């Protein structure tokens, strides 16, 4: 289905099951180069395991959503803008009991949404979320930028983002490598998160250290737990699928009960 944003900037592409208003809804927020298709069957699997609704969408400019006119020169607060868009979507679709599952940029969006809309968000799961900029993050982005030029990374992304691929890739790299972005930090928001949180990260994450996890779990106000996966990098739901599913199911069931 398609959803027309209230600001008139375009339409979001959405995939969801038939909503049962008596059960929670898992909302999946993709990473900086992601989209609906790149989640594969993970949203359906975790929703079925927990008897929940699920919703996953392409953010503006990604996948099959409308082109984002702000790409690639987006503002430093672009993740907060996305959190506001998420809240708009939740309200417009009358989504019952939203539990957010965010990967990388999506994880950061989930944290911001939980902080700004604490009465709406009932639970948060993040993978590889960032709350500040680290040297390892910039190193990983520079490596990806090199791979984009020297490998078939561009062709792989074009399968999902077609001719928008250069715009979303440049938006990611240019934003994070921008000198003014080096001071970006959302730690001041974390105390406003009152819902339960599960913070997941691969021990070999090439875009962030465990300091990201520890700073989140020590600063949020709600009940929190963390999962560090020894054999995973930046994509735990793909690299350690079963362990991620089991831990997330336990977390979700505690919210549901």
Domains of the chain listed by start with CATH number: 2-256 (3.40.50.1820)
> pTM for the whole thing?
0.97
pLDDT band per the 50, 70, 90 thresholds, residue 69: confident
| Residue 67 pLDDT | 85
pLDDT tens sequence across 221-236: 999 999 999 989 999 9
Rounded to an integer, the average pLDDT of 182-194 is 98
| Residue 6 pLDDT | 87
Task: Name the more confident of 255 and 151.
Answer: 151
7-11, 126-130, 190-194: the lowest-pLDDT one: 7-11
Count how many Cα atoms sit within 13 Å of the Cα of residue 63 in the half-sphere of its side chain. 23
Coil, helix or strand at residue 188: helix
Q: How far is CA 181 from the centre of its chain?
A: 19
| Residue 35 pLDDT | 98
Rounded to an integer, the average pLDDT of 16-38 is 95
Q: CA-CA distance, 215 to 84, in Å (whole number)? A: 23
The answer for residues whose C-beta is within 8 angstroms of residue 25's C-beta and 6 or more apart is 19, 52, 53, 54, 55, 95, 96, 97, 98, 99
Indicate whether 196 pLDDT > 80: yes
End-to-end distance of the chain based on CA atoms, in angstroms?
A: 31
């Amino acid at each position: 289905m398609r959803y027309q944003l209230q600001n008139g900037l375009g339409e979001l592409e959405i995939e969801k099951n038939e909503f049962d208003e008596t059960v929670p809804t898992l909302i999946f927020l993709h990473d900086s180069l992601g989209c609906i298709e790149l989640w594969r069957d993970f949203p359906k699997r975790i929703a079925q395991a927990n008897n929940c609704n699920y919703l996953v969408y392409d953010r503006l400019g990604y996948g099959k959503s409308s082109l984002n006119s702000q790409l690639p020169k987006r503002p430093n607060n672009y993740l907060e803008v996305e959190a506001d868009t998420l809240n708009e979507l939740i309200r417009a679709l009358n989504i019952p009991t939203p539990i957010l599952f965010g990967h990388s940029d999506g994880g950061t969006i989930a944290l911001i949404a939980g902080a700004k809309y604490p009465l709406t968000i009932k639970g948060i799961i993040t993978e590889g979320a960032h709350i500040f900029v680290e040297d390892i993050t910039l190193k990983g982005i520079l490596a990806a930028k090199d791979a984009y030029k020297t490998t078939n990374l561009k062709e792989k992304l074009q399968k999902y983002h077609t001719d928008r691929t250069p715009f979303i890739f440049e938006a990611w790299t240019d934003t994070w490598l921008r000198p003014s972005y080096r001071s970006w930090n959302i730690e001041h928001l974390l105390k406003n998160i009152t819902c339960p949180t599960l913070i997941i990260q691969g021990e070999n994450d090439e875009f962030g250290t465990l300091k990201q996890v520890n700073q989140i779990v020590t600063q949020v106000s709600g009940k929190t737990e963390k999962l560090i996966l020894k054999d995973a990098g930046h994509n735990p739901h793909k690299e350690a699928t079963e362990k991620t599913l089991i831990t997330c199911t336990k977390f979700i069931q505690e919210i549901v009960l």
